[in-house]
Structure 1
Amino acid sequence: MKNAIFVFLLGMILLSCNTDSSREKVDNLNGYWEIKKAELPEGITKEFKYSEIVDFIEVDSLKGFRKKVRPQIDGSFITTNDEEVLEVKLENDSINLYYTTPYANWKETVISSEENELVVINPRGIIYTYKRFTPYSGNYGKED
């Protein structure tokens, strides 16, 4: 019985030490993300040294969108008209991202959402790792 109580208390202490709440993890989704690598279920990893397209994610009250943007040297972005509607759902201790376009619907599960790194997995088992985009100039965030 003492062992069970000890294990329970240890578990509670470890859980309380978790500094990232679900809300913080959702808030970390917001911003500009550059693809770093994609890991296929077969064990093949594709590294991306540079990408001319960056994902912009905006979430407010668990609803938002993801859009592809092209960073410019002056710090501005060229945006596309295409936008993926995004809904965030907290399900079974996971953060799931549900995307909708006129052509498809799909889900990604957040594995990790930190200030400077985002890792998601899709239903095909492909793991995508993104890094926070570093702007080219001081005019960061302006759109053309």
Structure 2
Amino acid sequence: MKKLLLILSIIAITACSQQDPKEQIKHLNGYWQIEKVEIEKDSVMEYSLSPFIDYIEINDSIGFRKKLKPKIDGGFIKASNDAEKITARIEDNTLILYYSTPFDEWKEEVLEADEEELVVKNRDNKKYYYQRYKPLLSQDEEETQE
């Protein structure tokens, strides 16, 4: 009986911890800053401050991702005129992002997406951890410095 309760508890916890892909897609839009890349379980590249951020915009499952360079005043400079086309699809209760450029096509599995964090896994099984971008100076800090 104890084993059955333990198994049911594990199943319930696992089922509750998986995010709903329809909810995940709602959190993708916006500015994201790379935090780290997990190349293998014991090999992680940390990014303390990246000069570029990703801007993602998806409407009705179609959108794009662009690289931007943040400015000190809170604005942005386009890193290039290129944008990666994104198509978001839910497959087997998992959110998959399909990317395409004139040069390549690939997909990433969304492992986690909420207001503050985005985690995706690419075709090489590398996990990319992003955090919601926050400008170095907030609007309040800029006003107090003037």
TM-score bracket for the superposition, by shorter chain length: 0.7 to 0.9
Partner of 1:85 in structure 2? 85
Instruction: Give the Cα–Cα distance (whole angstroms) in 1 for the partners of residues 75 and 109 of structure 2.
Output: 30
Secondary structure of the equivalent of 2:40? coil
Give deviations 1:66-88, integer Å, cap 9, x for gaps. 00000001111001201000000
Partner of 1:138 in structure 2? 139
1:121 and 2:121 are equivalent in the alignment: yes
Instruction: Give the Cα–Cα distance (whole angstroms) in 2 for the partners of residues 84 and 112 of structure 1.
Output: 21
Instruction: Give the Cα–Cα distance (whole angstroms) in 1 for the partners of residues 139 and 18 of structure 2.
Output: 31
Aligned-residue sequence identity (percent) comes to 38
Q: Is the 8 A contact 2:100 2:106 kept in 1?
A: yes
Secondary structure of the equivalent of 1:124? coil
Structure 2 residue ranges without an equivalent (≥5):
141-146
Structure 1 residue ranges without an equivalent (≥5):
140-144
Secondary structure of the equivalent of 1:134? coil
Partner of 1:56 in structure 2? 55
Number of residues of Structure 1 aligned to a counterpart in Structure 2: 132
Instruction: Give the Cα–Cα distance (whole angstroms) in 2 for the partners of residues 55 and 138 of structure 1.
Output: 21
**1:24-63 counterparts in 2 under 5 A?**
24-41=23-40, 43-63=42-62
Q: Which has the higher helix share?
A: 2
The code of the aligned residue for 1:26 comes to: I
What is the root-mean-square deviation in Å for CA atoms of aligned residues? 2.5
Moved over 4 A (4+): 17-20
Q: How much has 1:135 moved relative to structure 2?
A: 1.5
